[in-house]
Every structure is written in structure tokens, then in C-alpha cells.
Structure 1
Amino acid sequence: MTLRSLLTGGRSRAVIATATTAVCAAALAGCTDSGTDSTAATTLAPASAEYDLSAVCPKDVVVQLQWQPQSDMAGVIGLLGPGYTVDTNAKSVTGPLAFDGQDTGVDITLRAGGPAIGFQSVPSAMYADDSIDLGLVHGDQLISAAAKQRVVGVTPLLQYNPSIIMWDPSSHPNVKTIADVGKSNASVVVSKDQIFPQWLVAKGLLKAGQLDTSYDGAPARFVGDPTITQQGFANSEPYTYEHETPTWDKPVGYAMVKDAGYDVYASNVSVRADRVEKLSPCLQKLVPMIQQTGKNHVNSPEAINATIVDWVSQDVSFTPYTAGEAAYSAKLLKDKAVIAPGTDGVWGSYDSAKAQQVVNDLVPILNADGANLPAQLPADQLFTTQFISASVR
């Protein structure tokens, strides 16, 4: 039995901070050495029948994130209720799945991705580990995986990818757009698993010879050679380079890939194609909760941001994520409409025509790189509106 089970009596949620300390000291001495740390919790009221997931969802809904926790994942992280436990060995957090201040009757486990899973793609992790129920998958990676590891997006956390190309304004005073970067002949440092650089080359915005796929996420390369340009995210690097990178500490210039025409749904909450039917009763209730949680974060991000900052602070292997970055990120995601209603006014919805256009655009580019996708790939095999609630406006 886990520490959390001892404290909560199974489904009961009356967790008291002093009880945690007492159990660790008296019954489970050394529990913090196992890589877990529990937060204090308040008692959650049981959910009404509308939000009770106990009869339709797994007892513990396991979600694989695509990177370490950040505010652009608020739609799922915001479901983590008080009393959660951080496991630094598993790079995960587990707690009650809560919605509207109520206990839905099941738990949620969020697992960090990226370096935490050896930079494995989320679809491949989902097919390798049957315990994963949901995964966050960017739309281009979802399309790329369709031949052998098809997953189905059930709602997008982000209406488009916040990826950017960034540069030093002093070194590149005439660069304002990604097309300008292409004309400059500057090196563009990106990670090898990114798909948008291939698209930029295919569209003639960058030259293949400009791409350098050695990006590792660290600022040292950019700081040491400001003549290069590199990938980043609009809700992260512009803030961290100016405010949290002492060797730089000044603004960067950047352009969003979306503004160059790369209009791809991002952070899609996804299910393995062979498990959609089995999880359908759960998704019918859970997806609208995710939609509403994303909407709530736009209008009031503080509580979810605090949870993210707390989780990251408990794991020294994570890149630090400060309250300042979280607040900047939440504001940018709102101001740039990265987290926003779809074209139909519904939060977390898909536009089927847009999805198909993106699929049609990317398939030949991905196939040129060996993806072996069918030339005609229906978008409704990859993105479904089946579980999206039109009432979340």
C-alpha cells in the first residue's frame, strides 16, 4: 500500500499535513529518500454525478507530457488536486483528479517527457507502455507517427504551436521575420526531432544548408555565438534570456513559426488509436473538463502556475521554472491566442478543414524524410471532435 493510500483510506481525501509527517516518521521512516514528496491537502467534496469519473475512467488516469511541466500544459496539470505526491525517481506527480473544486473519484498521474523519457516521442512511449492512458502530442508529430504508432487527438490544449526562431537584434539588425533569417544565411540551430524546420525549408523560407540540428536547449551556444539563430518557444526563451540568463540579460528578437504559415494544433490530448473505443466513456466526461480547465487558466492562471512551479521546484533534475516565467508564459499564451477558442468559439475544439489542410501539407514533406505515410490521409483518423463539448465557450 502506498503512503497516499495509508493517509487517504483509499478513496477518502481527508489528508492532513501533520499526518503525513507522523506516518513518515513512525511507519515509513525514510520515505522522502524514495524520491517522493507530498504536499498538504484540503478535503475535497465528492463530485456530483456529472463529474464523477469513478465508474468510467481508470482509477489512476496516467498522462504522458511532452516535456517537463510548463504553463502551456495547464489544461491537464490544472486537474491535479491538492495533496499530490511528487515522485522524483519516476519524474511524475500523482494526486486526486479534481474539477471545479470537487473530487472526481479517481487519481491523475502526470509524467514528465523530454529528457525524463530519453527524448522518446510521446506516441512511441504510449505504444511501449500500456499504463499510459493519454499523451500530449504536437499535431505534426501526431501526423508523423500515423503509419506505425497512430494516436488520435481528442482536444488541443493549444490552437497552434508557439515555436519561434530567435536571434540577437544587434547581430541581425535587419531580421524581422523567418524569411529574413533565410535571406541572412545565418545558421539556424534546431533539435533533430523538430518537424517545422523541414517545413520552412520546403516552403523556401530557409535553406537546407542553414539547419544545424545540434540544439540541446542550453543557452551557452547562443550566448557564445550571437551570430547564430535558434529555435525556442514564445512563452519561454524571450523571458528567460532577458531575465534569467545572467550571461545574456537583454532582449532577443524572434518570430513565431505560426506567423510564417505553420498553423498546426499543438499539445493535443491524445489516445492510442486502438484504445479510443475502450476509453470513450471516460473521454466523454473528461475532455470537457480539460477544455474548461484550459479556459480557466487564461482568465485566472495563478493557482495552476503555482502547482507547476511547486512540482518543478521539488525535482532538481528539471530546468528551473520560476513564478516570473510562469506568469509571463500565461500572459503570452493569452495575448497571442495560443490558448484560445477555436474558429467556432469553443475552447479546445478542432476545425476539421484546418486539420485536413495541415495533414495534406505535411504528408509529402514527412514522406520525403521516410515517414511512409499514405498519400491520402483523412484528418478524422488523427483528430476527433467526438468528445468535445460545444458548451465550453
Structure 2
Amino acid sequence: MNRNSRIFRQAGMSAVVLATLGLSACSSSDGGSAAGVPLEPAAEAQNLAGVCPENVVVQLQWQPQSDMGGLFRMLGPGYAVDADDKSVTGPLVAGGKDTGVDLTLRAGGPAIGFQSVTSQMYVDDSIALGVVHGDQVIAAAASQPVVAVTPLLKYSPAILMWDPETHPDWRTVADIGKSDASVVVSKEQLFPQWLVARGLLKESQLDTSYDGAPSRFVGDPAIAQQGFANSEPYTYEYETPAWDEPVAYDLLKDSGFDIYASNVSVRADKVESLTPCLQRLVPIIQQSTADYVLAPEATNEAIVDVVSQDSSFSPYTEGEAEFSAHLLKDEGLIANEADGSVGTYDMARVQGTVDELKPILVAGGAAIPDSLTAEQIYTNRFTDPAIGISSP
């Protein structure tokens, strides 16, 4: 199968294997704290009491899903879902052991009126960390600077997708650009302009009316559309009755859109005050991500459970969670760096991204400082390069 274009038909996918880690949940509409569940205390190096906020609040970029697996693996038993706050709170655990503080994961996207994560971080001072995609880390440097301290994903799962029956000759984004087909994307995305700047698409092809619903694609299979490799290829084939067929796609990273995705980030003006916390917390996030890669089942079960307790969320099934976890691993989107570490940055790679995206942002009106460097907005200061995936 051509690596640059994949058509998924995975009939007979096995059911999610649900590991038993004693995860229990209780629903809460008043934002009450998680139910008390006895836990073994974590080692001193992972004790966050007194060095981190009593409740570490993390603003997510979307509703709970498996590409946030590293964070949800840190959500201990007895977690409570707050449907009013669009959040879930539980003990923050490291390898299942109590770190002495709580963790709150707040949904983004529709839950915050599609505002950016960085804007939420600057509006709500209770937010300690935000999950920010790599291009948005650069864009935020203009007025809401954040510092990315560890990535949940090595590469973005962003794709352009199409109907393989309508376009059997398409294999890559460049093939789409050789046509006059409309490319339906959301207007807040930066990658469409990057693709135009690279000569891979024509400006006239861009249609910025994408709203996340499948109706446009189903009604007009001649278009190309944005999506994520760990979501739409599964949901369109197995959970969209009006389509119920495979889609083909090309990962944007294979065209050179080389961003780290889902970066756990801190407001630039809070880095120093949170340093004692980050020194202990960031390696916990790294290890949690590495552990999720090897054994995602129980964490996926918790994510599906959290989503099921809030009727405003889009349904998230066990099948999609399993598909997503396997794809992120198999495609190397959540994997070791060249040095074997998980959750660290290749700073030369990041600098290349800054250099490439900065002119596009400036051309779009963003006041990105000319002097902006990768070291100002990304750091390995808190990561541990010894943390990696030790087994296949």
C-alpha cells in the first residue's frame, strides 16, 4: 500500500480489550471534587504536593479523545465529570500512584466557543497548562505567548481526505493541487495557506466553510476535505451511515507540514513560577505518554466513559478509540525521537518550522516578532531524555 495514500477497510476489527485498572467514575454537575479512592503514594520525585497547584487544570484543544491519551492516563480512579464545566477531575497519578494533587482536564473546541486554547489561558488564570498545536504556538507569540514544554504527538495527524472512487488517481496533496477541486477547510487553520505558499494547492481551491459535519463531503464527493488520520477514516467508514465507505487521505506531514502537535504549554509569564512544578510534572507526562503507546486500552475506556457522561460531546466509541491509538503508534505520530526519547523536542526541527511559518503568519497580519526563535517558545528544560518506549 502506498504510504502517502491509505484507503482503510478494517472489517473485523477486534473489540477494545478493556484492561482493569480499577478505574471508577462518578458523574457530577456541580463541579464537586473526585470521590476519595485509596491510592498508594507516588515516589518522592513524583510527589507534586506543595510544588504544583492543588488542582492542575489543563485546557484541552478539543473534547476528550485518544490523541490526548498521555494526559488521560494520568487521571486516577474516582474521577468526576462536570457537564456544566465540560471537564473531568480526579487524582493526578503517576503509574497509578497518587502524586498528592488533583488533575482537571477541560474540553476545548465547541466547549469554549471555538476560542483558542491560548486565549483561554490568558482569560482564566486558574489554567496551569494548555494543549496547543505547533503552528498555534508560533502564532500565539504575537500577543498571547506560551512556551511548549512537552509534545503529546511527534507529528500532527492532520490530513486532506477524498473519495477514492471519484479520484482514483490522487495519492498526495500535490495531486489535489493539480486539479481544480475545492478543498474544504476551517478558516482558523494555518496549513491551507502554507500549502498554497509551497505551491501544493491553488488559492482558488480553498473553501473555508468546513464546520466538522460530514454532510458536505457526503453530498459532494468531488471535494477534498480536512480531517485527522486517527478519526475521520474510521468514523466515515463505520459510523457515518450516509457514507459507509472508505476514504483516502494524505498526511500533511508527508507534504512537509512538520509541526509537533498537541504541545503541553505554559503561559510565558508563568514559566518561572511554575518551574518547580514542571520539573516534576513534565517527566510524569512523558512517561504517561510512553505507557499509553504500549497499553492504551484502559485509558481509552476512561476517555469513552468521560465522553458518554456529557450529552453535549460528539459520541466517541470504543472502536474509534482503538483505531486511533493503533494508528498514532503505527504511523509514528506518537513515538520515539531519534535519540529514543518520548516527549522531547528536536530544536533544529522546531526552528525550521518557526522559520517557515513566521512569514506566512506575518503576511496574514500577525505581529510575530522578527527576532522570534524556537528557544523562546519551545523548551527541553523540563524533559527527561531517558524516558522512552522500551518495548515494541
Given the two structures, how large is their TM-score scaled by the length of structure 1? Answer: 0.90
Q: 261, 266, 275: which is aligned to 1:271? A: 266
Q: Which one of the candidate residues 332, 342, 347 is aligned to 1:347?
A: 342
Q: Does residue 102 of structure 1 match 2:97?
A: yes
Question: 1:5 corresponds to which residue?
Answer: none
* CA distance, structure 1, for counterparts of residue 302 and residue 36 of structure 2: 13
Q: Which residue of 2 aligns with 1:390?
A: 385
* Partner secondary structure for residue 123 of structure 1: helix
The 1-side partners of 2:135 and 2:231 are apart by: 20
Q: How far off is 1:342 after superposition?
A: 1.5
Give yes or no for the alignment of 1:197 onto 2:200.
no
Amino acid at match of 1:268: N
Specify the alignment match of 1:255 in structure 2: 250
Counterpart-to-counterpart distance in 1, 2:109 and 2:148: 19
Q: Is the 8 A contact 2:35 2:80 kept in 1?
A: no
Alpha-carbon distance in structure 1 between the residues aligned to 2:57 and 2:217: 36
CA, structure 1 residues 367+103, in 2 after alignment: closer, same or farther (shift >3 Å)?
same
Partner amino acid for 1:108? L
Identity of matched residues, %: 63
Aligned with 2:178: secondary structure? helix
Matches within 5 A, 1:1-393: 34=29, 42-393=37-388
- Give the letter for the 2:351 counterpart: Q
Q: How many Å separate the matches in 2 of 1:232 and 1:52?
A: 39
Encode CA deviations 1:163-186: one digit per residue, 9 max, x unaligned: 000000111111110000111111
**Deviations 1:140-170, CA, capped at 9 Å, x for gaps:** 0010110110000000100111100000011
Please say which structure displays the higher CA radius of gyration. Answer: 1
Whole-angstrom distance in 1 between the partners of 2:97 and 2:248: 43
SS of 1:349's equivalent in the other structure is coil
Whose RCO is larger (CA < 8 A, sep 6+)? 2
CA distance in 2, matches of 1:71, 1:366: 30
3-state SS, counterpart of residue 127 of structure 2: coil
Runs of 4+ in 1 over 4 A off after TM superposition: 15-18, 35-42
Q: CA deviation at 1:374?
A: 2.0
For residue 101 of structure 2, what is the amino acid of its counterpart?
A: V
Contact 1:187 1:228 in 2 (8 A): yes
Give the Å deviation of 1:357. 0.5
**Structure-2 residue corresponding to 1:10:** none
Q: What letter matches 1:293 in structure 2? A: S
Indicate if the aligned counterparts of 2:187 and 2:209 stay in contact, CA closer than 8 A.
yes
Deviation (angstroms), 1:372: 1.5
Measured in 2, the distance between the counterparts of 1:110 and 1:100 equals: 18
Structure 1's unaligned 5+ residue stretches are 1-14, 21-30
RMSD of Structure 2 on Structure 1 (CA): 1.9
Distance change (3 Å), C-alpha of 1:187 and 1:17? closer
8 A contact 1:84–1:95 mirrored in 2: yes
What does the per-residue CA deviation read over 1:64-84, in whole Å, with 9 as the maximum and x for residues that have no partner?
000001111111111100000
Report Cα offsets for 1:1-46 as digits up to 9, x if no partner: xxxxxxxxxxxxxx9989x8xxxxxxxxxx96x3669987742112
The answer (yes or no) to whether the contact 1:309–1:321 under 8 Å persists in 2 is yes
How far apart are residue 134 of structure 1 and its match?
Answer: 0.1
Q: SS of the residue aligned with 1:46? A: coil
- Residue 337 of structure 2 aligns to a residue whose secondary structure is coil
The letter of the residue matching 2:309 is Q
Distance 1:177 1:16 in 2: 42
Residues of 2 paired with 1:172 and 1:316: CA distance?
37
Q: Give the whole-Å Cα distance in 1 for the aligned partners of 2:317 and 2:259.
A: 28
Contact 2:24–2:79, Cα closer than 8 Å, also in 1: no
Distance 2:32 2:50 in 1: 29
CA–CA separation in structure 1 for the residues paired with 2:104 and 2:274: 16
Does the Cα contact within 8 Å between 2:181 and 2:223 map onto a contact in 1? yes
- Tell me what 1:26 maps to: none
